[in-house]
Amino acid sequence: MSQLRMTLAEIQAYVDEGEVVGSPDFFCRSVASLDKAGDDQLSFVKDRRYFDKARRTGAGALLVPERIEGFEGNQLVVSDSHRVFGQLLTKIATEKRRQPPGIHPGAHVDESAEIGSDVTIGGGAVVREGAMIGDRSVLYANTYVGQRSVIGADTVLYPNVLILEDVTIGDRVLIHGGTVVGSDGYGFVQHEGQHIKIPQVGAVVIGDDVEIGALTTIDRATLDQTVIGRGTKIGDLCHIAHNCQIGENVLVLPTVAISGSVTVGDGAIFAGRSGCADNLTIGEGAVLGGTSVAFKDVPAGAQMWGNPARDKMQEMRIQGVLRHLPEMQRELRAVKKKLGL
């Protein structure tokens, strides 16, 4: 259960905003969804679309963007209920996942590695020669940090994360289980009928406040750096190839594949299962819709859909026509028959 154990007045003080409707002393034992919440639990309402559902909930208190008439429980009215609920979930997650500092006796930390203060290193973890781990960072069980790699402060590597050699990771980064950072880029050249490997000897640099989902791979550059900019969020099962330059605050949703040497501008969005060919530029603030694949540069601010990716409105018109193809085919056959063709 997601324990909260705060009164509405304490929550109001913690988030530093809001107006209480009802009792400020109402004690919120934990948090739950609107469907499952009980009379001692807190839930939230994102917007007016959920007001009718909120009136039927069993929750004892709600975080709401505006007062809901007809709800008999307590309410805390805030500017953005979804964001504020996220603050509370962050508090709960931090408390639930807190790890005591120290190095597990089953871990292997090379004597040349530099370990900051209050660091946690779990059983089976390996920290290689010349690596650096920043203050308060957490390396869960069976993580690996390669030679000369740097992990910033307050960064968390969940179990089975592999950080290979010459990778630099910033502060407050979260990397979920099974992800590999610094794997070889896919580089081969044909010679006499064989595929000859081109070693990738560059680095990876990941900025502050980045989150990387589970089972994602980020390849090292051939010679220079693969870069993931500050604040970028990458989902599960993604692949970012060698030499990519990903800007700041980019959203890469699950199962996205970005080919080698792609430059992505700040604030761009790759929706689920989208991707692009190599050596492209995806402009600042551009959006690639779900399952879309770009084969040419995407201008800043553009919204592209489809495979190959086109302007969103053009693609919607094409899809509209495609839905009528069977009918159009029957009509064409009738015309050809009438004309004797």
Q: Peptide bond preceding 105: is omega within 30 degrees of 0, i.e. cis?
A: no
104 is catalytic: no
- Asked if 282 contacts 268 with a C-beta cutoff of 8 angstroms, the reply is yes
Taking the C-alpha atoms of residue 23 and residue 36, their distance in angstroms, rounded to an integer, is: 22
Residue 242 CA to residue 220 CA, distance in Å, equals 5
Closest CA to 206 of 165, 247, 237: 247
Two tokens, residue 40: 């001692």
Cβ neighbour number for residue 72 with a 10 Å cutoff: 7
User: Does residue 102 come out as left (phi exceeding 0), alpha (psi in the -120 to 50 range) or beta?
Assistant: left
Q: How many CB atoms lie within 10 A of CB 225?
A: 17
Strands (DSSP E) contained in 96-200 are 102-103, 108-109, 114-115, 120-121, 126-127, 132-133, 138-139, 144-145, 150-151, 156-157, 162-163, 167-169, 174-175, 180-183, 188-191, 194-197
Strand-strand pairing, 19-21 and 74-77: antiparallel
Q: What is the set of active-site residues?
A: 242
